[in-house]
Structures are given as structure tokens and as C-alpha cells.
């Protein structure tokens, strides 16, 4: 293949958004993609970008980019066996200690201010990531050109910037935009802990001289990092609670009782606005730019309007994840369930918060299955997007998901 042909070949980017335990849905989508690929296929996504829990899935894929299907199976195995205690302390001593620290330090001003405090202690997540991820796989994949770059985004509390930490080829230049920058680095566990540190729920993480939190905070252009890293088309796997399309669930009922919202309801809407709204707005903006590009003749295009269109394929839940979480709310460990009862998170109306925190097998497995089915419902679109020939799905692989 000569250089001119290589430059014309589209570079496919994968964007995995944040969303706590909702990211189990992404594993199901990835499982469907693995089934559609030929046996022993390498990574079909030269550019992989993730935020929050999506960053964990992204780096998991990148670490196993030389053996894509194996990497997906490993992610699937981990998510299928999840328990809340593997992500954050869910035992009585851990919950009481952390809540006491939070109340005393953050609300009453007691104790020192040199250690970040949050409602939940996610130290078990650090142990899990250290045990499960082999970061040397990223370097190997980049060196053998099975991966162009992998990136995770975190939010700097002092600078107010969305910082995308990326590891990839040396030819990729850093970028500097308004409140969003790209920084080359060697990714590690602390980058993932920072990207997944949901404000107030999990403590911020220090990287260098600054503390960072969940990358979805103020990430106004979630698709942008993939384009900066060289992607010319992107597959976006969202975790929206607002399904759209012909197979979507009906609209929620109109308010009837006029009851004041619980703290959990308010928190659920805040989490949705953080993890979902910016991504949906960015997709809509990109589609409008593509439409403008198609409508304007090349010679009449403004200089700042690119002639290259960015193909976007979106796969998102066809059913409301809040409703699924509400049905599984009794799986939550007793200590956490008691802790969340006051704010109303254990009621059906407060399931929005649960849908981000419910790292339990019943809920995660249902999301994995939903992701698989939603991806297979777009099988033809996926095959066209990835340039695959139509082929029957390997039933032996399907049974693994």
C-alpha cells in the first residue's frame, strides 16, 4: 500500500462516553462488534477515546488492541461479575467512615483540608484497575500500528479545563482550545481514577500540580478529541437515558401530583446533564456541519468550513436505563441502600442516581444484553461503517456474551 492510498483510508474513532455503571451497555455493543469481525481480527478502531467509566473501557480495549475479541471478552467477564464493593466501599464500616469524614470535613469544617473527601470511597476501583489492566499493551499496539492513539479526558478543578490525556504516535500534536486541551502522556491507573471521579460521589485525583475529576464535567465537545487524534469517522456509544428512534420506549408520563423533587431526583438530572447532554449536543452540531458541507459547493465554502465530512454512527440504549435500574434497586448492598434511602435514591423516582452506581450482576448483565441487541439491530449499518462483508455471526462467540 503506497502512502497516498494510506492517507485516503478513513481513520475510525470509537467514543465511549461516561456514566458509571451505565457503561456496562458499551460492553454489550463491543461484544456485537467483535462477533461481526472476522476471527482473530485486530482492533478496528485506530483511535479510541473514553470519558469516566467509558475511559476504563477504552483503555481496556487499547491494552488488548492486538487481540480485539480477547480484549472484549475480558471486559465482558469483568463487568458480568461486578459487585459494588469492587468499585467503592459498600460495607457498613466503610460507608459510615466515609460519610462521617464527608460531613465533618466538607460541611462542618472539621479536620484537615489537604485530603479530598467525597461521599464514597472508591479505593477498591484502583485495586481492580491495577490488577486487570496491562498498560504495556498500549505501547505494543502503537508500535505495531494497530492503534493510533487512546485518550481519556479529565476535568481540572483549578484550571477549569477539560484535559484529554492521550498516548499514541509521536506525530500527533497537542492542541489548545478554549477550556479544552490535549496533553501527550503515558497513561496509567491515576488517569483513569481521575477521569471517573464523579463530583461529590468520588474524590478528585491529583495529577501533577492539579486535582482532576470526572472528564464529563464541562466537556463541551466530547467528539473533538477523536478528531484531533486523526479520526475521520466516529462510532459513538452513548449511555443516554433518552432513547430516540422507531424502537424507543414511549415518552414518560406527564407530571400528575406536583410533588417536590427528592434529592436523588435532582442528583439524577444533574448527572444526566453532565454525562449525556453535551454529547447529544455535539452530535447534533456535527450533523449540522455535515449538512452544511454537503449543501455548499466546494468553491463557495468559507475557509473555516472543512470540505471533509465526518461520518458519525451512534448506538445508544433503546430503553430507559432508569427504569432498568429501578427494577434492580434491591441488588444494592444493604449499607449503601440505607445510606441512599434518605435522599430518595431507593425509590423508583430516584433511580437516575442508582443507574450510575448500581455495579451489580443483574443490572450490569441486563445492560450488556441490551447493548448487544441494540448493536445487532444496527448490524447492516455497523458492517457498512466498518467496511465488513456480510457474514453470519459465529454462534460460539455469541454465547460468550
Please tell me the distance from the alpha carbon of residue 392 to that of residue 101, in angstroms, as a whole number.
Answer: 55
- Active-site residue, 134 included: no
Q: Catalytic residue among 17, 21, 35, 52, which?
A: 52
Q: CA angle, 205 as apex, 143 and 54 as ends, to 5°?
A: 55
The answer to whether 199 and 117 are in contact (CB under 8 A) is: no
Please tell me the distance from the alpha carbon of residue 154 to that of residue 213, in angstroms, as a whole number.
Answer: 6
In three-state secondary structure terms, 129 is helix
Please tell me the distance from the alpha carbon of residue 354 to that of residue 39, in angstroms, as a whole number.
Answer: 37
H/E run at residue 164: strand 162-168
Q: Catalytic residue among 121, 214, 322, 374, which?
A: 214
**End-to-end C-alpha distance for the chain, whole angstroms:** 36
Nearest to 309 by CA among 318, 322, 296, 320: 296
CA-to-CA separations, 295 to 182, 309, 311, in angstroms, rounded = 32, 12, 16
Which residues are tagged catalytic? Answer: 52, 214
Amino acid at each position: 500500500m503506497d502512502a497516498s492510498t494510506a492517507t485516503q483510508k478513513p481513520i475510525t474513532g470509537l467514543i465511549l462516553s461516561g456514566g458509571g455503571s451505565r457503561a456496562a451497555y458499551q460492553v454489550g455493543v463491543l461484544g456485537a462488534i467483535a462477533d461481526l469481525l472476522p476471527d482473530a481480527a485486530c482492533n478496528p478502531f485506530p483511535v479510541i477515546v473514553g470519558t469516566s467509566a467509558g475511559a476504563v473501557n477504552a483503555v481496556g480495549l487499547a491494552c488488548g488492541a492486538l487481540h480485539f475479541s480477547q480484549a472484549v471478552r475480558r471486559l465482558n467477564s469483568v463487568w458480568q461479575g461486578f459487585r459494588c464493593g469492587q468499585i467503592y466501599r459498600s460495607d457498613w464500616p466503610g460507608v459510615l467512615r466515609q460519610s462521617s469524614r464527608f460531613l465533618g470535613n466538607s460541611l462542618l469544617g472539621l479536620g484537615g483540608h489537604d485530603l479530598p473527601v467525597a461521599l464514597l470511597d472508591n479505593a477498591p476501583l484502583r485495586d481492580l484497575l491495577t490488577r486487570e489492566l496491562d498498560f504495556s499493551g498500549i505501547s505494543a499496539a502503537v508500535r505495531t500500528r494497530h492503534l493510533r492513539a487512546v485518550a481519556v479526558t479529565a476535568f481540572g478543578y483549578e484550571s477549569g479545563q477539560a484535559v484529554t490525556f492521550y498516548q499514541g504516535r509521536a506525530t500527533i500534536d497537542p492542541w489548545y482550545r478554549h477550556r479544552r486541551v490535549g496533553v501527550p502522556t503515558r497513561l496509567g491507573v491515576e488517569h483513569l481514577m481521575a477521569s471517573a471521579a464523579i463530583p461529590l460521589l468520588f474524590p478528585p485525583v491529583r495529577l501533577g500540580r492539579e486535582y482532576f475529576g470526572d472528564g464529563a464535567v464541562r466537556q463541551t465537545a466530547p467528539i473533538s478529541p477523536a478528531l484531533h487524534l486523526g479520526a475521520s469517522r466516529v462510532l459513538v456509544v452513548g449511555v443516554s437515558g433518552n432513547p430516540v428512534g422507531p424502537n424507543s420506549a414511549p415518552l414518560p408520563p406527564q407530571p400528575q401530583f406536583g410533588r417536590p423533587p427528592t434529592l436523588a431526583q435532582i442528583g439524577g438530572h444533574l448527572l444526566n446533564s453532565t454525562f449525556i447532554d453535551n454529547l447529544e449536543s455535539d452530535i447534533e452540531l456535527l450533523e449540522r456541519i455535515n449538512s452544511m458541507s454537503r449543501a455548499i459547493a466546494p468553491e463557495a465554502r468559507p475557509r473555516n468550513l472543512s470540505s471533509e465530512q465526518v461520518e458519525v454512527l451512534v448506538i445508544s440504549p433503546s430503553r430507559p436505563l432508569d427504569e432498568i435500574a429501578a427494577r434492580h434497586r434491591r441488588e444494592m448492598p444493604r449499607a449503601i441502600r440505607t445510606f441512599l434511602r434518605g435522599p430518595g435514591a431507593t425509590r423508583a423516582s430516584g433511580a437516575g442516581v442508582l443507574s450510575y452506581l448500581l455495579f451489580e450482576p443483574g443490572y450490569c448483565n441486563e445492560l450488556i444484553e441490551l447493548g448487544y441487541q441494540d448493536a445487532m439491530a444496527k448490524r447492516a449499518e455497523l458492517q457498512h461503517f466498518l467496511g465488513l462483508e456480510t457474514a453470519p455471526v459465529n454462534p460460539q462467540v455469541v454465547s460468550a456474551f
